[in-house]
Amino acid sequence: MIRNAVAALALPFRATPLIATTTLVLTVVAGAAPASGAWLTMLLVDELTSGTASAGRAAFLAVTSALVGGSAIALLYLGGHLGEVVQQRVALTVESRLFQRVATLRGLRQIEDPAFHDRLRLAEQAAQEAPGTISQFTQELVRSLVLLVSFAGALLVVWPPMTLLLLASVVTAVFARLATARREAATEEAWVATDRRRLFYRALLTDVRAAKEIRLFGLGELLHTRMVGSLATVSGARLAAARRGTLVQSGLALLGAVVAGAGTVVVAVNVVSGRSSVGDLVLFLGAVAGVQTGLSGVVLQLGEAGRAVKLFGYYLDVVDTRDDLAAGTGVPAEATIELRDVWFRYAEDGPWVLRGVDLTIPAGAAVGLVGVNGAGKSTLVKLLCRFYDPQRGTITWGGVDLRELDVEELRRRIGVVFQEFMAYDLTAAENIGIGQADALGDRARIVAAAEVARIADTLQALPNGYDTVLSRTHADEERTGVTLSGGQWQRVALARCLMRRDAELMILDEPTSGLDAEGEHRVHDTVRRHAEGRTRLLISHRMAALRGADLIVTLVGGRIVEQGSHDELMDADGEYARLFRLQADGYQDARAG
């Protein structure tokens, strides 16, 4: 808690040191103003009731008192504005640091971990709320402390026991509010997973890609009920925590009123008996009102700040998240890739997905990978991109373990069309250009890639050509958005991969599954010519597409069961030959039918 609070409090001074310090000074000055005003009023009242009042001194005291009050308000406004500036700067800093960490995580483990997403949601919430809440609270606290100390000094002069009574009620209120804040933060943590599900259902209900299935399968009501159910659970828990907090606060406010009332009676009796002056009573009443107003503000904010400080811990956790992949520094050389006894599973207690894979992918060769659904083909691709490290065995590139290579350098040398490629809600040009981000503005290169992927004419014919937004959701007023067909999107993804002209390894994970037969044939043909000399790993369920590969590898249950050329594997009459014949027979039957 203390580490979180210190880090959160230090943030404004790191984000904008000068303004944060000025704000602090202004706050201190503004905090001292009410007590000075009350003191001047006491002097004024005593002057007027002394029997020897001088009009000049009285006027001077009245004007000074008014000036102090007026300046205090002006300082308050100025301090408020500077506080806003600090808040904005801090918000920018924390949001940037948070998502910089997310963006630079090397592997996929955290991104695939629901617990990380929960932490991230809490962290984002904290990053947005905490700095503002905490810096506002700090200002309020400083102001209230100065106010409290100055009034407490004044009260000491009038009637010392009252100071102690007021301080006692302050301490009780502070502890009670802190306890409520802890409970509220615990509620937030306990329900974050439920809230995540609510957001998931919410996103699903508005997702264009899910809209067809939701309507056809009549899922709308089901998803809506689940979404509202999650919301009701979360808001019920929040209300229960707030209810308890309100009860405690009301009780404490009553206690404060009783303490103040008793004190006023005693001072009033003192005035009657002549032991105190009327000015003392005025000062006392001003002090009680000032301290109570100041404190109720700070105590109320204390809850918010306590909750924010606790949640801020998640922000620090995410910002300090350790990468699950150690950083290497080597630069990859010639792309002969070797897998030696590679074992991999996604979770420590999960089943092995790859079991002792031994494979050599020679530089410049075209290697075909076949296997039934779930055999582990896409997993192998992910390991080659070093999204994960294998639990056992090694993968080397040009003889160097992938773990020792600079992961960004490694990935720069790989072009991939993933099985689940992305269709970005961006323009056609951007959808292709992002394959090589530093060539995003190189239209000639984008068009050339589109031509190889045989999608150039389609994109050129769009309402705004390559500048057409490929989305119905994010189109703007000037530009209409369009959506492409599944096969057209696949060609765009292929063009994106082809932007990486220097990629030494090209991986195509079922790049043609959405293409028509003629399209598939052409794409394989062009990719073969275009990528000649580069290492290629091709995955396809259409066996004929891999026939010309230099080496074909069959994966069964995470093991390589055979490898060789098409002819060798057909002669061996194993799994590959079985799958190949199955498809060939299918085509044969279709013709016969």
Ligand X SMILES: Nc1ncnc2c1ncn2[C@@H]1O[C@H](COP(=O)(O)OP(=O)(O)OP(=O)(O)O)[C@@H](O)[C@H]1O
Stretch that binds ligand X, among 35-43, 334-342, 371-379, 446-454 (CB under 6 A): 371-379
Nearer residue to ligand X within complex by CB, 70 or 374: 374
| Cross-strand partners of 369 | 539, 553
Nearer residue to ligand X within complex by CB, 277 or 419: 419
For the bound state, the minimum distance from the C-beta of residue 198 to ligand X, rounded and expressed in Å, comes to 24
Give, as ranges, the residues between 522 and 541 that touch ligand X (CB under 6 A): none
Among 70, 374, 463, 486, binds ligand X (CB under 6 A): 374
Nearer residue to ligand X within complex by CB, 79 or 376: 376
Pairwise CA distance, residues 500 & 493, whole Å: 12
For the bound state, the minimum distance from the C-beta of residue 515 to ligand X, rounded and expressed in Å, comes to 17
Pairwise CA distance, residues 396 & 358, whole Å: 11
For the bound state, the minimum distance from the C-beta of residue 427 to ligand X, rounded and expressed in Å, comes to 30
For the bound state, the minimum distance from the C-beta of residue 358 to ligand X, rounded and expressed in Å, comes to 17
Nearer residue to ligand X within complex by CB, 548 or 557: 557
For the bound state, the minimum distance from the C-beta of residue 382 to ligand X, rounded and expressed in Å, comes to 8
Nearer residue to ligand X within complex by CB, 371 or 511: 371
Nearer residue to ligand X within complex by CB, 8 or 375: 375
Pairwise CA distance, residues 305 & 216, whole Å: 47
- Indicate whether 390 belongs to the interface with ligand X (CB under 6 A): no
Nearer residue to ligand X within complex by CB, 143 or 345: 345
- Residue 416 φ/ψ, nearest 5 degrees: -135, 140
Give, as ranges, the residues between 112 and 131 that touch ligand X (CB under 6 A): 112
Pairwise CA distance, residues 65 & 33, whole Å: 10
Stretch that binds ligand X, among 46-54, 63-71, 374-382, 563-571 (CB under 6 A): 374-382
Among 24, 134, 252, 353, binds ligand X (CB under 6 A): 353
For the bound state, the minimum distance from the C-beta of residue 380 to ligand X, rounded and expressed in Å, comes to 7
Give, as ranges, the residues between 55 and 114 that touch ligand X (CB under 6 A): 112
- Indicate whether 377 belongs to the interface with ligand X (CB under 6 A): yes
Nearer residue to ligand X within complex by CB, 307 or 377: 377
Nearer residue to ligand X within complex by CB, 270 or 419: 419
415 Rama class: left (phi>0) / alpha (psi -120 to 50) / beta: beta
Structure tokens at 143: 């102001």
- Per-residue binding string, ligand X, 252-291, x by CB under 6 A, is ----------------------------------------
Among 90, 260, 375, 484, binds ligand X (CB under 6 A): 375
Pairwise CA distance, residues 177 & 174, whole Å: 5
- Indicate whether 511 belongs to the interface with ligand X (CB under 6 A): no
Query: How far lies 557's CA from each of 346, 382, 477, in Å?
Result: 15, 17, 51
Structure tokens at 238: 């929040």
- Indicate whether 378 belongs to the interface with ligand X (CB under 6 A): yes
Give, as ranges, the residues between 403 and 432 that touch ligand X (CB under 6 A): 419
Stretch that binds ligand X, among 29-37, 267-275, 368-376, 519-527 (CB under 6 A): 368-376
Nearer residue to ligand X within complex by CB, 87 or 378: 378
Stretch that binds ligand X, among 92-100, 140-148, 309-317, 367-375 (CB under 6 A): 367-375
- Indicate whether 368 belongs to the interface with ligand X (CB under 6 A): no
Q: 430 near 443, Cβ under 8 Å?
A: no
Report the amino acid identity of residue 465. Answer: G
Q: 252 near 172, Cβ under 8 Å?
A: yes
Stretch that binds ligand X, among 54-62, 175-183, 376-384, 497-505 (CB under 6 A): 376-384
- Indicate whether 346 belongs to the interface with ligand X (CB under 6 A): yes
- Indicate whether 376 belongs to the interface with ligand X (CB under 6 A): yes
Pairwise CA distance, residues 415 & 421, whole Å: 12
Number of residues that bind ligand X (CB under 6 A): 12
Q: Which of 476, 382, 465, 381 is nearest to 431 (CA)?
A: 465
Nearer residue to ligand X within complex by CB, 198 or 355: 355
Stretch that binds ligand X, among 126-134, 244-252, 369-377, 471-479 (CB under 6 A): 369-377
Q: Alpha-carbon torsion 64, 69, 71, 72, what sign?
A: positive
Query: How far lies 123's CA from each of 61, 309, 319, 428, 524, in Å?
Result: 52, 11, 9, 34, 46
Nearer residue to ligand X within complex by CB, 377 or 496: 377
Cβ-defined contacts of 470-477 (< 8 Å, 24+)? 470/423, 470/424, 470/425, 470/426, 470/427, 470/428, 470/431, 471/425, 471/426, 472/208, 473/208, 473/425, 474/425
For the bound state, the minimum distance from the C-beta of residue 304 to ligand X, rounded and expressed in Å, comes to 39
Strands 392-397, 337-344: pairing kind: antiparallel
Strands 414-417, 366-370: pairing kind: unpaired
Structure tokens at 305: 């700040």
| Cross-strand partners of 393 | none
User: Which residues 6+ apart lie within 8 Å of 279 measured at CB?
Assistant: 41, 42, 43, 44, 45, 46, 49
Nearer residue to ligand X within complex by CB, 109 or 479: 109
Strands 400-401, 392-397: pairing kind: antiparallel
- Indicate whether 371 belongs to the interface with ligand X (CB under 6 A): yes
Nearer residue to ligand X within complex by CB, 346 or 424: 346
Among 23, 139, 169, 379, binds ligand X (CB under 6 A): 379
Pairwise CA distance, residues 166 & 255, whole Å: 10
> Where along the sequence are the contacts to ligand X (CB under 6 A)?
112, 346, 353, 371, 373-379, 419
